[in-house]
Amino acid sequence: MGSKLRDRVAGPDTPEPPYPVRLSGPVIKGFGRGSKDLGIPTANIPADDLSEKHPELTSGVYFGVVALDPKTYKHEIVEGSTSTAVVLPAVLSIGYNPFYKNTVRSVEIHIMPALTEPSPTAAGHEGHTKFHRLPDFYKTRLNLLILGYIRPEFDYVSLEALVEDIRVDCEVARESLLRDAYKSYLVDSGKTSEKVSEDRRWLVSFD
């Protein structure tokens, strides 16, 4: 964005319509740049019918929560039982990546560590940000609940400027998800509303 001044959180303290928005799809091959060029792996899911099905999702950067099908993706921290999907925070880009001038729209999701773990993208290691990385999970079904909008897509003067903005996006997503009404999508607090429970059930169900 050029400007270093960015809000620490995005959107209202409680998700408002149209959020949460449900997206789902198999993880497909992307442009092969995420890890290689940027050091930021992004799981791509098909964006074919997105404009018809979700006209509300304008191009931009969003945050939310994801789950991967435990039948094909065994999460490292789940020992023994592999039947329940793990829900993790995520930041995503929907659009044309103006920096790369893509001609097709893409949905690219960067999965972050649990909020109980230290953030690898916290400021302090100038120029040495390491983004979260999991073992590859191509072809695995991914369910995503988009909970809010962060910013529009921008073009950048340099790769470093793009990476720095994505680093800040990760921090904004974390702070945003730490609010009670958002955290309830990540952890079952017991006093979760019926609507949130229903969305959580959808998130972790794979047939």
The site for ligand RBF (CB under 6 A) is made up of 30-31, 33-34, 38, 42, 61, 91-93, 97-100, 108, 110, 153-154, 162, 166, 169
Cβ–Cβ < 8 Å for 84, 67: no
Length reported for the chain: 207
What CA–CA distances, in Å, run from 97 to 7, 39, 68, 92, 136?
22, 16, 25, 12, 23
38 binds, among ligand ADP, ligand RBF, Mg ion, none (CB under 5 to 8 A by kind): ligand RBF
- Nearest CB to Mg ion, comparing residues 132 and 200: 132
User: CB of 67 within 8 A of CB of 143?
Assistant: yes
| Site of interaction with ligand ADP (CB under 6 A) | 27, 29-36, 41-44, 109-111, 132-134, 136-138
- Give me 117's structure tokens: 């773990």
List the Cα angle 69/62/54 in 5-degree steps: 75
25 is an interface residue for Mg ion by CB under 5 A: no
Q: Among ligand ADP, Mg ion, ligand RBF, none, what does residue 137 contact (CB within 5–8 Å per kind)?
A: ligand ADP
The span from the CA of 175 to the CA of 178, in Å, is 5
Task: Point out the catalytic residue in the list 108, 126, 171, 194.
Answer: 108
Active site residue 153: no
User: Which lies closer to ligand ADP via its Cβ, residue 109 or residue 203?
Assistant: 109
Q: Which residues are catalytic?
A: 108
Site residues, Mg ion (CB under 5 A) = 30, 34, 42, 44
